[in-house]
Amino acid sequence: VTIPEGSSVLDVYASANRDEDVFDEPFVFDICRHPNPHVAFGFGPHFYFCLGASLARLEIKVALEELARRAPGLHLCEPDAKPTYSVSSFVRGITSLAVAVS
Ligand code: HEM
């Protein structure tokens, strides 16, 4: 779209990552989604892309691998359990989700 000169712009990554024109079933958490052109780390060259993306991806990989190793039976306490989210217009984070380890 054309943005009028002098306008204020707020880029909302969470919204872009759920763009129906880009993703099939954008609200479904699909860890195998491919291709997955999300913009969680920004996009484009320096200044618009996260300098720590590789470290963040490695940290998340290690965290999930360790979680799977230490809690192999991790599951939702109730099949339809829903998480609660932090209140933020920029970063979406789960504050609680009832799970159990069997
Ligand atoms: C899941 C974790 C992370 C997410 C989702 C994330 C997301 C982002 C996003 C979207 C931007 C671009 C902001 C913009 O200009 O529009 C950014 C920039 C940046 N991030 Fe991250 N980040 C993460 C982790 C990290 C880590 C672990 C580090 C460092 C250890 C880091 C360091 C930076 C730096 C230095 C910039 C500014 C880059 C620049 O201006 O050239 N981030 N991040």
Question: Do 12 and 19 contact (CB within 8 A), yes or no?
Answer: no
Residue 92 pLDDT > 90: no
64 Cα to the center of ligand 1, angstroms:
20
- What is residue 90's predicted lDDT score, i.e. its pLDDT? 79
Closest CA to ligand 1's atom 29: 52
Residue 10 pLDDT > 90: no
**Ligand 1, pocket residues at CB < 6 Å:** 13, 40-42, 46-48, 50-52, 55-56
Q: In whole angstroms, what is the distance from residue 54 CA to residue 60 CA?
A: 10
- What is residue 45's predicted lDDT score, i.e. its pLDDT? 78
| Ligand 1 atom at minimum distance from 11 CA | 16
According to DSSP, the residues that pair with 85 across neighbouring strands are 94
